Amino acid sequence: MPVITLPDGSQKKFDAPVSIAEIAASIGAGLAKAAIAGEVDGVLVDTFYVVEKDAKVRIITDRDVEGLEIIRHSTAHLLAHAVKTLFPKAQVTIGPVIENGFYYDFAFKDKSFSSEDLEKIEAKMRELAEKNYPVSRKVVSRDEAIQFFKKLGEEYKVKIIQDIPENETLTIYHQDDFADLCRGPHVPSTGALKAFKLTKVSGAYWRGDSKNEMLQRIYGTAWKDKKSLEDYLKNLEEAEKRDHRKLAKTMDLFHLQEEAPGMVFWHPNGWAIYRVIKDYISHKIAEQGYQEIVTPQIVDLELWKKSGHWANFGEEMFTVEADERLFAVKPMSCPCHVQVFKQGLKSYRDLPLRLAEFGCVHRNEMTGAMHGLMRVRQLTQDDGHIFCTEAQIQEEASQFIRSVIEAYRDFGFNDIVFKLATRPEKRLGTDELWDNAEGALGKALSGLGLSFEIRPGEGAFYGPKIEFHLKDCLGRMWQCATLQLDYAMPGRLEASYIAEDGSKKIPVMLHRAILGSVERFMGILLEHYAGKLPVWLAPIQAVAMNITDKQANFVEEVTQQLKKQGVRAKSDLRNEKIGFKIREHTIEHVPYLLVVGDREVESQTISVRTREGADLGVMSVDQYLELLQKAIEQKGRSE
């Protein structure tokens, strides 16, 4: 006779063991229909799960975050079901939930899936969903599971089972004649899956290892209803238009080529944006007392072993051999900054010591993971490290948080989500140390009146961290800035200072970055603004153009006058119609288009238009410079 406690604290008593579906029905017919799964004492379960003793129960619907994840996971199974129905020789591997959707990897040597195949598969998925097949779950032994999938010819499933720890419970989910190894839970029946779309197919290595065979990965998205799906697809379409790789061609910013995979060839326009961003950050950190440094690109492998990077990130590091020694190409700057700190005896009076570097680093990202500026092999981090005492942590954290908020507002991002990642299960240091560290970071956030989300167990093994997630105009979240507290590396690399009592102590090390990666941040900016960067960031701020050859000399004079005032300006003296020139530079997203005709030459003025098509009228060059300066000072701020 279980007593069920519901989220609102109310209780229901049942005369016999009761399923989640029955509990939902006892509350109301609407909830019974909407129930996707349940949560029993914090554990997610299927609706057919039977509660046999007193428990806290929550009914999961598509309004819950967990409900949407279950829908997406179940849709991944529906995809595999459809593929096996249409292509019986295809082997299924894994099909996890990802942000906004899911994917499933298939081993299929007979053919490569095409866009036409995706349409057929999606149509079959809809057919299977409409048949509303009930979903069931069966607990099996390890041997049963291996024999079951061997009979089906699913070699990859057998490999997966063989790698699962022996103490784990194995379950197989069935829908019609399709079966898959899965922990679950899943929707009660395929009819619950009403809003999905397959988006693309790509290659993926088995287990993510390039030494293994290549599989075919089909991506899809799934939502609770058709409206949510349509909204997402519209957003996706808008994101496609804003793809920074397309904008890079239109605006002539950069290119990538096979001879240097994951490494950027910057063009003058792109490098202009890069320099503005870099100069802005350099100026900002100089105001905050940072000393800018530069450290070597290649360092003996022994340093990376001492710091722990080789053990944790060795596969992502490039190595070179010289003078019978093995060196690693720098994947991050922190161990090198510790070396700078160690030069000369440091006292508590020298702390906090703030070092910063635009560190060019290299990481051996997988070929399939690279994506324009968003994920590259050569990147520049606005890397900084603060060496301080424990008593200084909160103040240093507060100052950094303020600087991030100010910087993001200048770049046009006002919506920031703060997350505090706390101690993981495996960690260095005492509980008291972690209590102090987490407390200091939490107080820094709350002291500034900021609400934040706790991410239990998500901190690094050496200390907690604050993550800064910014939201772009499409509602996408990007983690850029981080503040990580590190008790481990200074000690590992033998850094110390003389405390006030004369004892030798190890400093606390704060790793921090405002942008994260200059390349990735620029990609985010380009997509956020759809290429129409604020005037202060625009690679070309103004183009002066003539209507006929007679105005060419004055156009050149105007252009040179603007350049002397620090404006990124150019002239367009081509023998083309003025309408053509205006259209072309509008497509290139140049903020101001300066048109010169006979009347402008006579009055020594310019006719000013914006890329949005607004006619600002005729004005002198000085008047235009005043207007331009105000726009530059505004930066990306909306107020």
Rounded distance between C-alpha atoms, residue 81 and residue 92, angstroms: 9
Strand partners, 171: 139
Rounded Cα–Cα distance for residues 388 and 509 (Å): 7
**Residue 236: predicted pLDDT:** 87
- Work out the burial of residue 245: count CB atoms within 10 Å of its CB; fewer than 13 is exposed, 13-18 middle, 19 or more buried: middle
Q: Among 479, 496, 528, which residue terminates a domain?
A: 528
User: Quick one: 183 and 286 in the same domain?
Assistant: no
Q: Is the pLDDT of residue 29 over 70?
A: yes
Residue that is last in its domain, among 188, 215, 230 = 230
Question: What residue has token string 């000085």?
Answer: 622
The strand pairing partners of 319, in sequence order, are 328
Which is catalytic among the residues 511, 568, 581, 609? 511
Pair type for strands 3-5 and 55-60: parallel
* Residue 515 belongs to a domain: yes
148 and 222 assigned to the same domain? yes
What value does the mean pLDDT of the chain take? 94
In this prediction, residue 488 carries a pLDDT of 85
Active site residue 363: yes
Rounded CA-CA distance 609/626 in Å is 15
Does residue 242 form part of some domain?
Answer: no
Q: Which of 496, 528, 560 is the last residue of a domain?
A: 528
Same structural domain, 221 and 318: no
On whether both 288 and 378 belong to a single domain, the answer is yes
Mean pLDDT of 119-128: 97
Give yes or no for residue 428 having a pLDDT over 80: no
Is residue 84 part of the annotated active site? The answer reads: no
Do 392 and 455 fall within a single domain?
A: yes
Q: Is residue 168 part of a domain?
A: yes
> Among 363, 423, 520, 581, which one carries the catalytic annotation?
363
Q: What does each C-alpha distance from 274 to 351, 522, 604 come to in angstroms?
A: 32, 8, 34
Q: State whether 469 and 569 are in the same domain.
A: no
Q: Is 604 a catalytic residue?
A: no
Q: Which of 224, 354, 385, 427 is catalytic?
A: 385
Q: H or E stretch including 500?
A: none
Q: How many structural domains comprise the chain?
A: 4
Q: Which of 216, 381, 392, 484 is catalytic?
A: 381
pLDDT of residue 210: 77
CATH number, domain with residue 552: 3.40.50.800
Quick one: pLDDT at residue 591? Answer: 97
**394 shares its domain with 299:** yes
Q: Is the domain of 515 the same as that of 548?
A: no
> Cβ distance 437 to 464 under 8 Å?
yes
Q: Average the pLDDT over 430-455 and give the result.
A: 91
CATH number, domain of 449, equals 3.30.930.10
pLDDT, residue 429, reads: 77
Question: Which of 72, 182, 334, 337 is the catalytic position?
Answer: 334
Identify the domain containing residue 56 by its residue range. Answer: 3-61
User: Do 70 and 216 reside in the same domain of the chain?
Assistant: yes
Condensed to tens digits (0 to 9), the pLDDT of residues 304-350 reads 999 888 887 888 899 999 998 999 999 999 999 999 999 999 999 99
Question: Are both 349 and 491 inside the same structural domain?
Answer: yes
Per-residue model confidence as pLDDT tens digits over 499-522? 999 999 999 999 999 999 999 999
For the stretch 225-271, pLDDT in tens is 999 999 999 988 898 899 999 999 999 999 999 999 999 999 999 99
Give the side-chain half-sphere CA count within 13 A for 483.
27
pLDDT in tens, 174-192: 999 999 999 999 999 999 9
* Residue 381 is a catalytic residue: yes
Specify whether 590 is located in the same domain as 465.
no
Residue with tokens 């870099």: 278
Q: Compute the average pLDDT of residues 532-557.
A: 96
Q: How many residues does the chain have?
A: 639
pLDDT single digits (tens) 481-503:
999 998 888 998 999 999 999 99
At residue 639, the pLDDT reads: 55
DSSP H stretches of helix in 411-501: 431-447, 489-492
Sequential DSSP letters for 128-156 = HHHTTPBEEEEEE-HHHHHHHHHHHT-HH
Tell me, yes or no, whether 612 and 464 share the same domain: no
Cis preceding-peptide flag for 352 (omega within 30 of 0): yes
CATH code for the domain in which residue 93 is found? 3.30.980.10
pLDDT tens figures, 466-478: 999 999 998 889 9
Band (pLDDT 50/70/90 cuts) for residue 427 is: confident
| Active-site annotation holds for 126 | no
Query: Is 371 an annotated catalytic residue?
Result: no
The confidence score (pLDDT) of residue 475 equals: 87
Within-domain flag for 485: yes
* Residue 96: inside a domain: yes
Please confirm, yes or no, whether 334 is among the known catalytic residues: yes
Looking at 209-310, which runs of residues are DSSP E strands?
214-223, 254-255, 265-266, 291-292, 298-300
Q: Is 639 domain-assigned?
A: no
Contact indicator for 103, 80 with CB cutoff of 8 Å: no
Q: Give backbone dihedrals phi and psi of 401, rounded to 5 degrees, phi first.
A: -60, -45
Q: Please give the average per-residue pLDDT across 555-575, as a whole number.
A: 96
Q: Is residue 246 part of a domain?
A: no
Q: What is the pTM of this model?
A: 0.81
Of the residues 46, 105, 180, 383, only one is catalytic, namely 383
pLDDT at 487: 85
Q: Determine what percent of the chain is predicted with pLDDT higher than 70.
A: 100
Using CB atoms within 10 Å of the CB of residue 613, give its burial: 0 to 12 exposed, 13 to 18 middle, 19+ buried: exposed
Domain assignment present for residue 170? The answer is yes
CATH number at residue 53: 3.10.20.30
Q: Of 217, 465, 568, 589, which residue is the catalytic one?
A: 465
Q: Is 408 helix (H, G, I), strand (E, B) or coil?
A: helix
